[in-house]
Amino acid sequence: MVAQPSQSSHPAETAETTPAETNAIEQILAKLQHFSPERQQQVLDFVEFLDQKTQPQPAEKTIWEEVDELMAEVPDEEWKKLPTDGSYQHDHYLYGTPKREL
């Protein structure tokens, strides 16, 4: 059988319901009572999915925030090994061409 709705901290569920909302809830509960336990579980899973979709999602990190975090993991000794003229002499470091004169 269908379990009765439990108390929830969801804002929409703690506010007073209108007659139309109460009617919809009663209709849903009446139909659920005729479902098999497996089908009731499917309905519960779907309701939980809908509830999860309405929850605020954490903001994703930008690519630059990701890069900053990765760079922070590299020890200072490794950064000191990098060439200081890498942007100007990139052809030399990438392809082995002679260094440009500064």
- Domain ranges for the chain, please list them: 11-54, 63-95
Mean pLDDT, the chain cut into blocks of 10 residues (102 residues total): 47 64 89 93 94 85 94 94 88 92 81
pLDDT computed for residue 57 by the predictor:
78
In angstroms, rounded to a whole number, what is the distance separating the alpha carbons of residues 42 and 48?
Answer: 10
Which pair of structure tokens corresponds to residue 57?
């999602």
pLDDT computed for residue 87 by the predictor:
86
pLDDT computed for residue 15 by the predictor:
60
